[in-house]
């Protein structure tokens, strides 16, 4: 969670960055890099890919920061940019896997340990789509409320509630299936 002092500092850095202050943007990156990387990591499930996605997101944010009308909206906007970049990355990776699966190759599968709850949960999360993982991550890992998530994803609060409900149900079903 972000306290009001951090919020004010971020708003000031956004304003300075919008005026072309490169050092202010570097400070903004420094302040947000780890949080946004953790979010990306949870969505793409790979450290190196998370860094790649985050670099793409920062470039995108640098190019479009001047169009951000409300400096107070930086956090939801940044999470949205990273989330969208992660979705793009996962979709590209899925397309690549489909191509690779079409080629003849030996297949290996590794089953998670059935008795390890954390491993079961991680495996079940991996089975969810990136949109559902993003929603669960924003709510449970980042501790964001429904209104904040709605702003990040650009959807109504009611839609967030509904999608969060469906994501929980899907996760529960996958966990239960892995335990049986």
Residue 112 main-chain phi, psi, to 5 deg: -70, 155
What residues have CB less than 8 Å from 85, skipping those under 6 apart? 40, 53, 54, 56, 57, 60
Q: Rounded to whole angstroms, what are the CA distances from 68 to 33, 44, 60, 71, 76?
A: 19, 26, 12, 7, 11
- The number of C-alpha atoms within 13 Å of 165 and in the hemisphere containing its C-beta is 6
Confirm if 134 and 90 have CB atoms less than 8 A apart: no
Q: Where in the chain is the domain with CATH 1.10.1740.10?
A: 1-108
Which band of pLDDT confidence, cut at 50, 70 and 90, is reported for residue 37? Answer: very high
The CATH number given to 1-108 is 1.10.1740.10
Residues of the chain with CATH 1.10.10.10: 109-180
**Contact criterion met (CB below 8 Å) for 171 and 125:** yes
Of the pLDDT bands very low, low, confident and very high (cuts 50, 70, 90), residue 174 is confident
pLDDT at 113 over 60: no
Q: Does domain 109-180 have CATH number 1.10.10.10?
A: yes
């Amino acid at each position: 969670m972000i306290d009001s002092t951090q919020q004010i500092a971020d708003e000031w850095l956004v304003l300075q960055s919008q005026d072309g202050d490169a050092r202010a943007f570097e400070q903004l990156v420094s302040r947000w890099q780890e949080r946004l990387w953790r979010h990306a990591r949870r969505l793409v499930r790979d450290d190196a890919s998370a860094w790649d996605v985050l670099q793409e997101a920062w470039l995108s944010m640098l190019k479009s920061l001047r169009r951000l009308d409300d400096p107070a909206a930086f956090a939801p906007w940044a999470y949205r940019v990273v989330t969208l970049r992660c979705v793009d990355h996962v979709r590209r990776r899925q397309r690549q896997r489909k191509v690779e699966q079409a080629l003849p190759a030996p297949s290996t599968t590794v089953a998670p340990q059935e008795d390890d709850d954390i491993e079961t949960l991680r495996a079940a999360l991996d089975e969810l789509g990136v949109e559902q993982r993003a929603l669960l991550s924003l709510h449970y890992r980042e501790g964001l409320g429904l209104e904040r998530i709605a702003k990040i994803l650009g959807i109504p609060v009611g839609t967030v509630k509904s999608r969060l409900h469906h994501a929980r149900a899907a996760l529960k079903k996958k966990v239960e299936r892995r335990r049986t």
